[in-house]
Amino acid sequence: MDYIQEIYKLSTKFYKDYSSYKEILTNDKRSYNCLILKSKEDYFICVPFRSEITHKNAYLFKNTKRSQTHKSGLDYTKIILIKDIDYIGTNGLVDNDEYVEMMQNIKQICQEVNEYIDGYINHIENNNDTKQNTKKYKYTTLKYFHEILKI
């Protein structure tokens, strides 16, 4: 998987088109910064930065200032898949130390993102409703992107 080293926000158009989707992160006061990954398919994967993550399906920062008092990181459960380039908005801005740690661990992050998506596809296609999978994917946004995932 290739990656785009820039951080972007999702556009107003995206939030307008997806406003009724319960698990998609929205906040009237701000949009979320996302790491944008180019998949081997014909879509982009947007992984949001979050200040407080209370589960294991994420890359949690370990060596950043914010991580000393918060569980900040990249949240895999809130991944957004997009084909429409108009859904990618303006450049985002994250703390420099988070950006540096992300780039130092980009291969691991990409691998974990792929594993999370592949695991979800397997969960749906094979009706793999184990207790672990049910918990892991209960609040995932991937359920809104079956058409893009071709499942």
Residue 96 has a pLDDT of 92
Residue 29 has a pLDDT of 54
Residue 111 has a pLDDT of 94
How many angstroms separate the Cα of 97 from the Cα of each of 25, 36, 58? Answer: 23, 18, 18
Residue 4 has a pLDDT of 56
Cα four-point dihedral sign 47, 49, 54, 60: positive
Half-sphere exposure of 142 (CA within 13 A, CB side): 24
Residue 107 has a pLDDT of 93
Alpha helices in the chain (DSSP H): 12-17, 96-104, 106-125, 131-137, 146-149
Cβ–Cβ < 8 Å for 11, 45: no
Cβ–Cβ < 8 Å for 79, 49: no
Q: Say what the pTM is.
A: 0.89
Cβ-based neighbours of 120, under 8 Å, separated by 6 or more: 137, 140, 142, 149
Residue 53 has a pLDDT of 94
- Average pLDDT, consecutive stretches of 10 residues, N- to C-terminus, the chain (151 residues): 71 89 71 86 92 94 91 95 92 91 94 95 85 87 95 93
